[in-house]
Structures are given as C-alpha cells and as structure tokens.
Amino acid sequence: MVEPEIIKNAQNGDREALIQVLREIETHIYRTAFYILGNEHDAMDAAQESLIKIYSKIHLYEEKALFKTWIQRIVTNVCIDKFRKKKVNVSIDEHEMVIKGDDNVEKEIISAYVAKDIEEAIAKLPEHHRTVVVLRYLQDFSYNEISTSLDLPLNTVKSYLFRARQQLQKLLHDYQKGGVQG
Amino acid sequence: MKCQEVIQLMQRDLDGDLNKEEQHQLMDHINGCHSCTEMFERLKHISSELEQLPKVTPPVSLVDQILPQLEEIDQVNIMETQAYDTGETEETSTTNTKRTSFTTLFKKARPTIAFLGTSAAAVILIVVLTLNSEDTLFNEVAEESASENIMEDSVFMKENTEEIFDNDVEEFDDQTALRIESEDANQSAGSRSGDGGESGSEKGYESESGEAFESGSEESIKTPFQEEEMTSITFSESFNHMEGMLSPDGQYVVNIRVVEEGGNELIVQKVNDQEILFTLAIEDHLTITKIKWLEDSQFILLQTSDGEKQYNEQIDIFNPMKPSQ
C-alpha cells in the first residue's frame, strides 16, 4: 500500500513524505472507523485523530511490523476508545449481546435483535467482534494480520470472527423469518 | 463428525483456511445433512454480503482538514527542542509531574486510610507516601498517562500490558502536549522496574503473604501503601483485595488467596450463591502481576512473572484447565 521508501523518509523527518503517507492511508483509516463507529461524523473524528497520532508517532513505527497493521492498530484503538465513551449513555445492550459459547449462539441472541440489512446487523455486534469483522472484510486482513493489529491471540481472532458471522446470520435470518421468534 | 465441528470447518472455509482433506470432510458431511447445508448457505451468504460492503471514502480530504493541527504539533516540537537545549524542559516537567502525581496519590490513598481505620495512621501513611515520593510518584504518572484510554475493561490485553509495563508506552499515549511529561515518567518507571527483584509489584505482593504484617508497626503502616501501589500499578483499577474483582456481567468474582504451603490460588466464584467454579494454584516462584476480566465475562487474563519473564494466560472460567493460549 505505502512504499517503504516513503515511510522511511517520513520517519527521518521529511515532512512532505509524512503528509503523503497520511494522504495514502486516510481512506483505509476512515473506512475502518466508519464501520466500527457506524456513522460518518464519528468516523471523520476518529480518522482525523488517528492521522494526527500517526503524524506524531511515526518515529515509533518499526519496520518489522507491517505498516498497514500498525496504522489499523492505531485507528481501532481510537475507535474503541470513542465507542466506550459513547456507550456510557447507550445502556447495557452490549453485555446482553455477548455470547458465552458456540453452543449457545442460537439461544443467546434475543429475538428483539433483528436487523434488516448487513450494516445494521454489524452495528449490533459487540465492539471487538465488529472490529475483527471490519479488519477481515474491509481491510482484507488475514487471521495473522488481525491478530497483530489487535494484539489478540490467533485463536481469539478466529473465535470472534466465527461468532460474529454466526450472530450476523442469525440476526438477518430472524428478520427474514418475520422478526420475532419463540 | 458432529455438526458443531462441521460449522467450524465451514467458518474456516469462508476464510480459505481449509486444506483438501478438510474440504472433503466438510463436503461429505454437508451432502448428508440438511441442516448443515442450510447453515453453510447462510454463512456463505453473510460472507459475500460482507465482501460487498460499500468501500466508503471520506467526504472530504481528512489530511487537508488537519493540516493546521499538524503545523501546531510541529511548532510545539520545535519549542520543546529549544527548551530542552536550554535545560528548561526538564525542570518544568519535573515540577508538573510531582504536582499531578501527588494529587493522584492522595486520591488513591483514601481507601487505604479507611482500611487502616485510624486517622493517626493515615497521617503517618501520608508522610510515608511523601517521603517515598520520588520513584513511586513517577510510576503513578506513568500509569496515568499510559492508561488513559485503556484502563477500562479492555479486551486488547497485550496492549494493556505494554502500556503498563514497558517503556514503550509512548506509542499509544494521548496528547502531544503531555509528551515530555510522560516520557520523563516512563523513564523513571522503566529504571525502577529494572531494579530486578526489588520491583514494586513483587514487594507489594510479598506483603500480602502476611510476613510484613507480623514484623512490627512500621511495616504494617507501609504494607497497605505497598499494596495500594501494587494495585494501582499492576492490577486493573477495579481489583479490590477485599472483595475481589467482578466480571463485567456481575455474575462472577475472581479473588487471590495465599496458600499456607506457599504460592497463591486464584478462586473464581459465582456472586449469587458463592459457589466456587474453580481454584487454580499459582506456582510458588510466580508473582501475579495482573488480573483482568475480558469483556465477555468468560475469560480471565492472568499475567504472572518469575522476575525475568512475563507470562500471559487466558483462562476460560468454564474450562479452566485448558488455557486458550
């Protein structure tokens, strides 16, 4: 995505190069923020905050990590932080959505949680499940890249992703069946 | 093969993670199982919908919008550099650090005072705090600035770890304006934890074993302080040694118990009827440096240290014998 050469120049204090780096990544950053936070306004905020962070922390990036995982780690952190601050007013829905084990997936989701389309369904996922989905589908990250970005064990990444898809299919399936079930 | 296992295969298939043999297993099962065929269709449908999500782009250039802020950052950096050259920065930042941290410590010390129960002890405690200030205070600040975003119930655990234990905190700390201050603090925190066996967490932890309580009044005044220090540095804020730490859903509580023969035990109980889910022995040579509930209330992150290395373990409270990692 971004040429290593430009990143190096940016790290060595070339301001133009750094600005160019930011321009090249802004869409990727925004896209992640948009799908984690669910609206344009918050996504703009979070993306800008992330870019500013990247600008002032560029010297901390180490080449041994992929640049794309490094920047996604920054934006997901910013988003999750924002999400939490917001959540204080949003009630405890989150915890009710948390799924305790694969076996219980069907039972755990309350019938009120139906969604009419995939975006709405994503918004109903717990934050870390959603984040994994966003990195997998919007950033085309592998299990490993997600694991690096989020500092989560590989198995946790898989389990979040699998549960998320299970939840999504359940949410949409319920809607197609007419919403309320049992 | 059970349907549940097959679903796992389906999931991995969606990510292109199956080898030939596994693909055969999946197909064999699906051909003979109606409900799995249906489930696979639904999952494939979800996956393709996710792949087709609109590739949204920002309505206006974000970089253009933040250019003024970026310039400000550059200005501040230049000023900092100049100040540093004349030696002013160090002076200023040290003063700031002290002031901030004293307030913090004082606030944090209150529960401890209540714990001691006498105001005289409280006064002595504060004196001890003040005398001890230099290095501990820095730790407080390091922790404060580091934990700004993440001290809540973060599921991204390793990040927490880095933030609290490494010098590398800077990577995720927040305001640029705070930079010098936190860097300073980090350095102190770093050099301190470099003291080897005498690090704050170990001292604090030993005090829990009761030795310190038996060895005279001076020690017993210091002990709660050390414990406090340990709690604030190494454990999540929500850990309380008297009551343990509640899971996010409020249904379970985790506690540490000192075993007489040496070592410690982790105990997880149900809140409503105190039923013990399990106890887990922590080997003698390991010090618990951190305990944290993951957000799903199913996993506990346990971080231990043998003085040299740190170990992270994620414990499934419903299946504690098989750590997930």
Chain segment B221-274, per-residue pLDDT in tens: 333 333 333 333 334 445 555 567 888 888 888 888 776 666 777 888 888 777
User: pLDDT tens digits for B305-322?
Assistant: 877 778 888 888 887 765
What is the model's pLDDT at position B27?
94
| Phi, psi (degrees; rounded to nearest 5) at A64 | -65, -20
Q: What integer pLDDT is reported at residue B291 of this predicted model?
A: 84
* Cross-chain residue pair B297–A173, CB shorter than 8 Å: no
Kindly state the tokens that stand for A147.
């694991």
Range A4-87 has CATH code 3.40.50.1110: no
Give the number of beta-carbon pairs within 8 Å between A and B.
143
B231 and B239 in contact (C-beta within 8 Å)? yes
- A139 pLDDT tier (thresholds 50, 70, 90): very high
Report the mean per-residue pLDDT for chain A.
Answer: 83
What pLDDT sits at residue B261? 67
* Structure-token pair, residue B272: 């409503």
pLDDT at residue B123 greater than cutoff 60:
no
Per CB-CB distance under 8 Å, the chain B contacts of A75 are none
User: In this predicted model, what pLDDT tens digit does every residue of B134-152 receive, in sequence order?
Assistant: 444 444 444 444 444 333 3
Q: What is the CATH number of domain A93-176?
A: 1.10.10.10
- Residue scoring higher pLDDT (B52 or A87): B52
Residue B299 pLDDT: 86
Cβ within 8 Å, pair B324-A84:
no
- Substitution target from A77, A124, A127, A139 for chain B, most B beta carbons within 10 A: A77
What is the least distance, in Å, from the CA of A64 to any CA of chain B?
15
Task: For residues B294-304, give the mean pLDDT.
Answer: 84
Residues of B46-83 as b/e, b for ≥16 C-beta within 10 angstroms? bbebbeebeeeebeeebbeebeebbeebeeeeeebeeb
User: With an 8 Å Cβ cutoff, is A55 touching chain B?
Assistant: yes
Measured between CA atoms, the residue of chain B closest to residue A60 is B171
Of the candidate ranges A171-180, B84-93, B208-217, the one whose mean pLDDT is the lowest = B208-217
Residue A14's pLDDT is 92
Taking the Cβ of residue B324 and every Cβ of chain A, the question of whether any pair is shorter than 8 Å is answered with: yes
**pLDDT confidence tier of residue B43, bands split at 50, 70 and 90:** very high
Percentage of chain A beyond pLDDT 90 is 62
User: What pLDDT is stored for residue B145 in this prediction?
Assistant: 40
- B265 is written with which tokens? 């035990």
Q: What is the mean pLDDT of the segment spanning A155-180?
A: 84
Residues 58-87, chain A, touching B (beta carbon < 8 A): 60, 74, 77, 80-81, 84
Of B55, B176, B314, the CB nearest to A56: B176
Closest to B141 measured CA to CA, from B176, B211, B190: B190
For A57, nearest residue in chain B (alpha carbons): B171
Packing angle, helices A40-57 and A67-87, rounded to 10 = 130
| Start-to-end C-alpha separation, chain B | 25
Asked if B176 is an interface residue toward chain A (Cβ–Cβ < 8 A), one would say: yes
Return the pLDDT at A47.
97
What per-residue confidence (pLDDT) applies to B282? 80
Query: What are the structure tokens assigned to B192, written together?
Result: 């301190």
**Is the minimum CB–CB distance between B2 and chain A shorter than 8 Å?**
no
- Predicted confidence band at A30 (pLDDT cuts at 50, 70, 90)? very high
Whole-number average pLDDT of chain B? 63
With contacts defined as CB-CB under 8 Å, which chain B residues touch A31? 55-57
- Which residues, 6 or more positions from A130, have their beta carbon under 8 angstroms from its beta carbon? A35, A36, A122, A123, A164
Least confident of A28-42, A81-95, B27-41: A81-95
CB atoms B314 and A57 under 8 Å: no
Among A48, A162, A169, beta carbon nearest to B42: A169
- Confidence label for B86 from pLDDT (cuts 50, 70 and 90): low
A13-20: long-range contacts (C-beta < 8 A, 24 or more apart)? A15/B74, A18/A55, A18/A58, A19/B63, A19/B67, A19/B70
Q: Distance between CA atoms of A19 and B164, rounded to whole angstroms?
A: 31
> How many percent of chain B have pLDDT more than 90?
20
Burial class (CB in 10 A: 0-12, 13-18, 19+), A103: exposed
Domain residue ranges in chain A = 4-87, 93-176
Q: Which residues 152-171 of chain B have a CB within 8 Å of chain A?
A: 152, 154-159, 162, 168, 170-171
> What confidence score (pLDDT) does residue A22 get?
96
